[in-house]
Structure 1
Amino acid sequence: MSPHVHALHVAPGRRLPTKSVDSVDAEAGAGLVGDRYHGSRHRHVTVQALDDLETAAEVLGRPIDPGLTRRNVTVDRGPLPTRPGERMTIGDVELEVVRIAAPCRLLDDWLGEGAMAALRSPRGGTVFRLLTSGTIRVGDPATWQ
């Protein structure tokens, strides 16, 4: 059984809290509509795996709410693709790896001291660019090789 989208989050601006959504429109070459990175050149979508968050929570010593990590898409399990050029499909939207996501400096503010360290690679997720447009929904299958 393939992984599925567990949660979706967008943040309307830098340093603003993320908002949980049931679906989001993805625009090829632009990003997620309503997210702070929409219109950026390469950083269109960030994806993390729930099992990586559970491991990070053990390191941190407390649960981690996926929305507080500032990642857009949380799938229910990994491991995620991490090498530039690797591809992933969520629903009918195709994505391509840009790089491993570095933990955000705001993590210690949002989650508490030690969160940034707990979410260091490989638990921090992956940055993708959007190759096709479509709608990503909670529950959509996510596939990669």
Structure 2
Amino acid sequence: MKVVAIHIAKARKLPTRMVDSVDAEAGKGLVGDRYHGTRHRHVTIQSRQDLDAAADALGYAFDAGATRRNITVDAGEIPTKPGTRLRIGDVELEVVRLAAPCRLLDDWIGAGAMAAMHRRGGSVCRLLSSGTISVGDEVVVEPSSSPALTA
């Protein structure tokens, strides 16, 4: 998987803007994004493959930024199991939860968009390390491992 688009928005009701790269701060989020500084919702990630399937269900294509997700990858299944770790370039992320489609998608994309995005919304992740995420970066799902025990 590779990053094909990055979108950020300064505030909830402002449109997203596409960027070529973004600074990611561990424990905080993407610099310049509305969720920067929140507790767990640092980054959202979705698959272009899932967006294409939703577009087929709708009968027309739409821009990846219309979903208001931050990172779009070219293909593949986005892990949704909490605790799953991903690496984008040299930035490590951890899945917090499934990113359910918002009812406002019907307003932003068109009638039926929320239903078309059902089970295709991607994941919400938190940032475990800092760095820069750029279009073209490789996305790797880390092999699952047993959590370390601490005394």
- TM-score w.r.t. length of structure 2: 0.92
Q: 1:105, CA displacement in angstroms?
A: 2.3
Structure 1: runs of 5 or more not aligned: none
Identity of counterpart residues, as a percentage? 66
Q: Of the candidates 104, 108, 116, which is equivalent to residue 106 of structure 1?
A: 104
Distance, in Å, in 1 between the alignment partners of 2:98 and 2:91 is 20
Structure 2: runs of 5 or more not aligned: 144-151
Q: 1:120, CA displacement in angstroms?
A: 1.0
**Other-structure match for 1:135:** 132
Partner SS state of residue 88, structure 1: strand
Distance, in Å, in 2 between the alignment partners of 1:39 and 1:88 is 20
**Other-structure match for 1:38:** 36
Distance, in Å, in 2 between the alignment partners of 1:97 and 1:10 is 19
Shift >4 Å, 4+ stretches: none
- Computing the radius of gyration from Cα coordinates, the structure with the larger value is 2
Q: How does 1:76-87 map to 2 (within 5 A)?
A: 76-87=74-85
What amino acid does structure 1 have at the position aligned with 2:122? G
Aligned residues: 142
Distance, in Å, in 2 between the alignment partners of 1:27 and 1:57 is 33
Distance, in Å, in 1 between the alignment partners of 2:88 and 2:51 is 19
**Other-structure match for 2:18:** 20
| Residues 1:125 and 2:137 aligned together | no
Listed one character per residue, the Cα deviations across residues 58-105 of structure 1 (whole Å, up to 9, x for unaligned) are 111110210111000000011011100000000100000000001022
What amino acid does structure 1 have at the position aligned with 2:121? G
**Other-structure match for 2:148:** none
Listed one character per residue, the Cα deviations across residues 15-60 of structure 1 (whole Å, up to 9, x for unaligned) are 1110000000000000000000000000000000000000000111
Q: CA RMSD in A?
A: 0.7
- TM-score w.r.t. length of structure 1: 0.96
